[in-house]
Structure 1
Amino acid sequence: MPECLRLPGAEAERGTIVTTPTSARMEEACQDLVLSQAQIQEVFSSLLAQINLGLGRVTNQRATVKCFPTYVKELPNGHERGRFLALDLGGTNFRVLLIELDDGDFKMESRIFAVPHHIMTGSGKDLFDHIAECLSTFAHAQHIEHEVLPLGFTFSFPCSQHGLTEARLAQWTKGFSCSGVEGEDVVKLLEEAIQRRNDVQIKVCAVLNDTTGTLMSCAWKKHDTYVGLIIGTGTNACYVERLENVELWDGSWEEPKQVIVNTEWGAFGSKGELDHVLTEYDREIDQHSINPGRQVFEKMISGMYMGELVRLVLQRLTKKGLLFGGLGSEELAEKGSFYTKYVTEVESDAPGDYTNCRMVLEELGLDNATDEDCENVRYVCELTVLSSDVARAAFLVGTGLAVLLNKMNRPSVTVGVDGSVYRYHPHVHRLMCEQINQLINPGIQFELMLSEDGSGRGAALVAAVASRTNS
């Protein structure tokens, strides 16, 4: 059986599995959160079918998993050199980085900028003007405003690429809804915004998403890295595919005859492929989201929705009289009040210790929770990610990884992983490994490797590899 070799850190050792509900009624009330092996197998088969549709020229249009070729063919060899800029947009924070590579050595200066809500939901012009302003502020602080440095742009939203420096936004995700961007080339929009300021000079060498950045970052150290995975605010995966299987490919057929494929698997389920595993909570989250019916797989997995799922479960159990004596609070009834970080905090309590759980409940206006309530809250939190037989978010991701590993059928693969859910949740790493081991082909060895600053370093590495191969 394949072995999962690397834990993401000390966090992976915290917690126990699984809390036992304090009553049969509680267990019965949460049963719809538990997936069966038959359901998991159906997810596996359906996801593989959608990936194959996404790779086909004729079938891509009807596929929910689009499998966009990224035009990144070369992986790092560890000998890249030079100074590079990187921009990283993928959520409510935006980063600008200056990265220096020197034959295996790595130095980085970076700054994080907020993306205010009115920018996330305003016009595309305002968004890219904000990005250009952040870049200008950083460049002046680093005294590089007069240098022309190669730049890698991490733009972590579904895009169809038409070259290494051309990517058209397919659709917004992660709470963004800026007008005038969908269908447009985001590199061109960035360059136009920089030209409007006319106070910095850049040369965009590559545009990529955070999964590609994660893969490239880990491949710099582990040359058998062929998969990049994000489990954070959203979820997505990319992998190295043989060109002969990528019918959408319209670039060079020179060696290497491979390309990183951006699956955009978060959209899986938008045509009903996951209806058999959706709960009433999933349907409510989807119905009240800004993109109903879209990004269904992502809504079942990612940190953006995990806390809200727990809140809905706790609210229903309270109304049934199974929690808090049937008396909730105004805070618990408020959409979005149960943050995803609360899930990790509750599960990090040692057995019989409810310190973190009580702190979370007090923030929700639930000051008089009993030990039994705390035990059941922990049980609910665990069920959103795991159960005694089958895991939910972690096992769904593990199922997806097994699909990719089996499809590539390489003897040894490192999977570069990043994102807050993987990085901080105490159980996700081990549970993903368990599910992969259930579905992977014999003879395949795999390792899950926590990426170190994947989006930033990866963007610089794509720019560095592009500069190296074009020189």
Structure 2
Amino acid sequence: MRQARDIIREECEILHLTDKQIREIMSRLHNDLIKGLGKDTHATSIVKCWLTYIQDLPNGKERGKFLALDLGGTNFRVLIINLGENHFDMQSKIYAIPSHIMTGTGVALFDHIAECLANFMKEHNVYEERLALGFTFSFPLKQLGLTKGILQRWTKGFSCSGVVGEDVVQGLKDAIARRGDLSLSVMGILNDATGTLMSCAHKEPHCRIGVIIGTGSNACYVEKTENCELFDGEPGKPDLLINTEWGAFGDDGTLDFVRTEFDREVDSNSINPGKQIQEKMISGMYMGELVRLALVKFTKMGLLFGGHGSDLLFQRGSFYTKYVSEIESDKPGDFTSCMEVLEELGLSHATEADMAGVRHVCECISRRAAHLVSAGIATLLNKMNEPRVTVGIDGSVYRFHPHFHTLMCEKIAQLVRPGIQFDLMLSEDGSGRGAALVAAVACRQRLQFA
């Protein structure tokens, strides 16, 4: 009789992307990027490739104090950075967004943010100063200029009314004006992928791609202006940062050929069914749930835990993505973290064979995620076709998963054209620092042309 272990491995084969499948994914993503950049195809394209209106990267000549606001999830950060000749000083504070504000009105959201901004400025003795602010807003935005961004849709559990279809910079400015006590000029709005690129470019001049692999997933890259058919800004500058919004790749069915029953179930139970399909196969918001669904299936098949699960195992959302990182951090043959996780889930009757099965499921789901991101990055590297590019990466999955970096390095190396050199760089504080740097670069340019 075949052992449970072998059947689990067979069942998990659907989570393995073959090289042929990965090449097909790359080809489809490349086509979608071209559509997103094209004048006649942009409106119907799935991967939107929004223009960011950022044409200059930091060059080290930025000077002064700058504020940044970083809103991208259940909390947000306010930062102040001080840029000197050989000096970079940054302080920040995290503020929570209560759930009633996440699902309330846009006015209440921006009023809450403005109040926290004021408190932060008081704490750092800059309440009386007029400061430039960079605003990281990590939701799908259609940018109409460096300081004008129209929210396309909420993601990550937000549903504030009166914001979709509106300019979020104006929403923030209105909240600041309602207070009447702050003197701030918003110099740029960007998302976290763009912030990551800017932040890494400040340290590493070869940085041309910024990627997020956290709660969500997205990428930003430097494109030649001549390829950006929708761009009507300053002519003469060769480059423009493009926010791909690649999390939506697959929303039109292009990834159905590699999706599994687990992916379909995660999607149908999400708050945005049919949307952000690639993101749901990659990011931290969904990875743990994909593992849980596979474990539930194998338990019901009698392959795990003697066929006896627990109430928690059968409860949606109970298997956190951080468990995946913890389980895969154990050395081969050691199941200490795995045992702790399973005990937390009420599965203290798990045998060592069960733990090996659980770890195999985690490895399959996280490897697939790493390979999907690698396919995306390799597509961008091949499209840009520059000899050397640094990829700035931020996000909890990349930061905390023990093998993600290695899996990506190996896979991207197989997928890029010969002669392209790449490095993966962990962004320190990308989205916040990047927002301040966007404000700093905008101020530098203003001084240049004054």
Greater displacement, 120-129 / 419-428: 120-129
Match of 2:255 in 1: 274
Match of 2:296 in 1: 315
- Give the letter aligned to residue 289 of structure 2: E
| Contact 2:291–2:319 (8 Å) recurs in 1 | yes
Aligned to 1:113, the other structure's residue is in SS state: strand
Match of 1:220 in 2: 202
Structure 2: how far apart are the matches of 1:149 and 1:240? 28
Q: Which one of the candidate residues 231, 237, 242 is aligned to 2:224?
A: 242
- Greater relative CO (CA pairs within 8 A, separation 6+): 1
Structure 2: how far apart are the matches of 1:355 and 1:122? 43
Offset of 1:127 from its aligned partner? Answer: 1.3
Structure 1: how far apart are the matches of 2:75 and 2:408? 27
Q: Which one of the candidate residues 69, 85, 88 is aligned to 2:67?
A: 85
Match of 2:285 in 1: 304
| Contact 2:199–2:437 (8 Å) recurs in 1 | yes
Offset of 1:104 from its aligned partner? Answer: 3.9
Listed one character per residue, the Cα deviations across residues 425-456 of structure 1 (whole Å, up to 9, x for unaligned) are 01111111122112211111100011111111
Match of 2:184 in 1: 202
The reply to whether residue 23 of structure 1 matches residue 15 of structure 2 is: no
Offset of 1:332 from its aligned partner? Answer: 0.6
Aligned to 1:83, the other structure's residue is in SS state: strand
Structure 2: how far apart are the matches of 1:257 and 1:29? 49
Q: Which one of the candidate residues 236, 254, 258 is aligned to 2:239?
A: 258
Listed one character per residue, the Cα deviations across residues 178-234 of structure 1 (whole Å, up to 9, x for unaligned) are 111111100000011111122222110111111111111111111111100000000
Aligned to 2:69, the other structure's residue is in SS state: strand
Structure 1: how far apart are the matches of 2:164 and 2:432? 24
- Give the letter aligned to residue 378 of structure 1: R
Greater displacement, 31-40 / 165-174: 31-40
Listed one character per residue, the Cα deviations across residues 336-380 of structure 1 (whole Å, up to 9, x for unaligned) are 000000000001111111111111111111111111111111111
Aligned to 2:77, the other structure's residue is in SS state: strand
| Contact 1:417–1:451 (8 Å) recurs in 2 | yes
Structure 1: how far apart are the matches of 2:137 and 2:167? 11
Structure 2: how far apart are the matches of 1:363 and 1:201? 49
Q: Which one of the candidate residues 425, 428, 435 is aligned to 1:459?
A: 435
Q: Which one of the candidate residues 267, 272, 280 is aligned to 1:286?
A: 267
| Contact 2:4–2:303 (8 Å) recurs in 1 | no
Structure 2 length as normaliser, TM-score?
0.97
Alignment of 1:41-120 (within 5 A): 41-120=23-102
Structure 1 length as normaliser, TM-score?
0.93
| Contact 2:5–2:357 (8 Å) recurs in 1 | no
Structure 2: how far apart are the matches of 1:30 and 1:300? 15
Alignment of 1:45-444 (within 5 A): 45-254=27-236, 256-386=237-367, 392-444=368-420
Listed one character per residue, the Cα deviations across residues 385-444 of structure 1 (whole Å, up to 9, x for unaligned) are 12xxxxx10000000001100111111100111101011101111111122112211111
| Contact 1:86–1:96 (8 Å) recurs in 2 | yes
Structure 2: how far apart are the matches of 1:304 and 1:27? 25
Aligned to 2:231, the other structure's residue is in SS state: coil
Aligned to 1:283, the other structure's residue is in SS state: helix
- Give the letter aligned to residue 434 of structure 2: G
Structure 2: how far apart are the matches of 1:82 and 1:468? 10
Gaps of 5+ in 1: 1-20, 387-391
Aligned to 2:286, the other structure's residue is in SS state: helix
- Give the letter aligned to residue 187 of structure 2: C
Structure 2: how far apart are the matches of 1:26 and 1:224? 43
Greater displacement, 79-88 / 433-442: 433-442
Offset of 1:132 from its aligned partner? Answer: 1.0
Aligned to 1:23, the other structure's residue is in SS state: helix
- Give the letter aligned to residue 284 of structure 2: G
Offset of 1:29 from its aligned partner? Answer: 2.0
Equivalent residue pairs, number: 445
| Contact 1:234–1:266 (8 Å) recurs in 2 | yes
Structure 2: how far apart are the matches of 1:177 and 1:226? 33
Match of 1:13 in 2: none
Aligned to 2:285, the other structure's residue is in SS state: helix
| Contact 1:79–1:104 (8 Å) recurs in 2 | no
Gaps of 5+ in 2: none
Structure 2: how far apart are the matches of 1:373 and 1:23? 8
Aligned to 1:367, the other structure's residue is in SS state: coil
Offset of 1:143 from its aligned partner? Answer: 1.9
Listed one character per residue, the Cα deviations across residues 34-70 of structure 1 (whole Å, up to 9, x for unaligned) are 1222211111110000000000011001111000110
Structure 2: how far apart are the matches of 1:170 and 1:104? 40
Offset of 1:22 from its aligned partner? Answer: 6.2
Structure 1: how far apart are the matches of 2:34 and 2:411? 22
Aligned to 2:212, the other structure's residue is in SS state: strand
Match of 1:8 in 2: none
Listed one character per residue, the Cα deviations across residues 291-335 of structure 1 (whole Å, up to 9, x for unaligned) are 100000000000000001011111111000011000001111111
Structure 1: how far apart are the matches of 2:201 and 2:396? 20
Aligned to 1:30, the other structure's residue is in SS state: helix
Listed one character per residue, the Cα deviations across residues 106-131 of structure 1 (whole Å, up to 9, x for unaligned) are 10111001122222222211211111
- Give the letter aligned to residue 261 of structure 2: E
